[in-house]
């Protein structure tokens, strides 16, 4: 497996490379975002690991560019910025997972294995359209409408709504949402899931009389009409 690491701190980059190479990965290092983007677009990498604060092109811009050109390549962000807003911004930029510095190498390896397993896992056949009440989601065109009105979602909002539609009228815990939508066990010390649920509510429910996203205190959330 080929992994690209974009990290401007030479000591951190060298530690990551040594740790990954000891596990059998082939690692290429880039010291700034511009070099990282050139390598990512031409190197055939299985995974990209990037910091957010980088010279020339920051990690968020880098992730957006990679996600546009190479939608199937997993991106793991390593950063000292660990607030809920920072995580939301990172995921919205295209990151698949987020690890806050300082981190344990064993945790990094767990995240890498999970992302690579996810990428190479067979994708079961899915229906083209998901419908519930007056909401419709097209999984091919990525269009979402409610009562004929188009709803614009970020990629992570789309994935969250898709998961809720696939599990309609069933209570979903925050842990299950984190594992199934982001496929990661990130820390639950922030109100991360609640932030995304609120984003969805504003777009899916606010302008409509019948609400579809409901909170079950102490349990999680349920997607149902009324």
Give Rg (Cα) of the chain: 19
User: Residue 117's pLDDT band (boundaries 50, 70, 90)?
Assistant: confident
103 shares its domain with 161: no
What is the reported pLDDT for 8? 92
With contact defined as beta carbons under 8 Å apart, do 64 and 91 qualify?
no
Q: Is the pLDDT of residue 16 over 70?
A: yes
H/E element, 137: strand 135-138
With contact defined as beta carbons under 8 Å apart, do 192 and 84 qualify?
yes
11 shares its domain with 100: yes
DSSP, collapsed to helix, strand or coil, labels residue 201 as helix
Kindly state the average pLDDT of the residues 16-27: 94
Q: Is the pLDDT of residue 27 over 70?
A: yes
Q: What is the pTM of this model?
A: 0.64
Kindly state the average pLDDT of the residues 150-173: 93
Domain ends where: 87, 120, 153?
120
133 shares its domain with 218: yes
108 shares its domain with 40: yes
185 shares its domain with 168: yes
What is the reported pLDDT for 126? 63
What is the reported pLDDT for 72? 87
Q: Is the pLDDT of residue 85 over 90?
A: no
What is the reported pLDDT for 161? 96
What is the reported pLDDT for 30? 95
Rounded Cα–Cα distance for residues 72 and 17 (Å): 23
136 shares its domain with 179: yes
User: Domain holding 143: CATH number?
Assistant: 1.10.10.10
68 shares its domain with 13: yes
**With 0-12 CB in 10 A as exposed, 13-18 as middle and 19+ as buried, what is 11?**
exposed
100 shares its domain with 42: yes
Model confidence pLDDT, tens digit, residues 205-222: 999 999 999 999 989 999
73 shares its domain with 18: yes
Beta-carbon contacts of 135 under 8 Å, excluding residues fewer than 6 positions away, are: 144, 145, 146, 165, 204, 212
User: Residue 179's pLDDT band (boundaries 50, 70, 90)?
Assistant: confident
User: Domain holding 54: CATH number?
Assistant: 3.40.50.2300
Model confidence pLDDT, tens digit, residues 31-71: 999 999 999 998 789 999 999 999 999 999 999 999 989 98
178 shares its domain with 81: no
98 shares its domain with 167: no
Rounded Cα–Cα distance for residues 31 and 36 (Å): 7
Rounded Cα–Cα distance for residues 136 and 15 (Å): 47
Domain ends where: 52, 85, 120?
120
Of all residues in the chain, the percent with pLDDT exceeding 90 is 63
104 shares its domain with 145: no
Please give the tally of structural domains in the chain. Answer: 2
Give the 3-state DSSP-derived string for 65-130, with helices as H, strands as E and coil as C. HHHHHCCCCCEEEEECCCCHHHHHHHHHCCCCEEEECCCCHHHHHHHHHHHHHHHHCCCCCCCCEE
Q: Which domain holds residue 146?
A: 129-223
């Amino acid at each position: 497996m080929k992994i690209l690491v974009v990290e401007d701190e030479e000591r951190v980059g060298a530690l990551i490379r040594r740790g990954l190479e000891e596990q059998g990965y082939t690692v290429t290092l880039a010291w700034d975002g511009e070099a990282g983007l050139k390598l990512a677009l031409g190197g055939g990498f299985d995974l990209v690991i990037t910091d957010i604060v980088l010279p020339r092109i920051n990690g968020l811009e880098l992730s957006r560019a990679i996600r546009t050109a190479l939608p199937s390549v997993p991106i793991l962000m390593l950063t000292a910025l660990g607030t809920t807003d920072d995580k939301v911004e990172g995921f919205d930029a295209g990151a698949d997972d987020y690890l806050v510095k300082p981190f344990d190498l064993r945790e990094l390896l767990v995240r890498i294995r999970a992302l690579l397993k996810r990428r190479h896992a067979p994708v079961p056949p899915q229906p083209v359209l998901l419908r519930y009440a007056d909401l419709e989601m097209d999984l091919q065109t990525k269009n979402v409408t409610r009562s004929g009105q188009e709803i614009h979602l970020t990629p992570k909002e789309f994935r969250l709504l898709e998961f809720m539609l696939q599990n309609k009228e069933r209570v979903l815990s925050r842990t299950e949402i984190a594992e199934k939508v982001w496929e990661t066990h990130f820390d639950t010390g922030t109100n991360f899931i609640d932030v995304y649920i609120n984003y969805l509510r504003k777009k899916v429910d606010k302008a409509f009389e019948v609400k579809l996203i409901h909170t079950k205190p102490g349990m999680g959330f349920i997607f149902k009409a009324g």
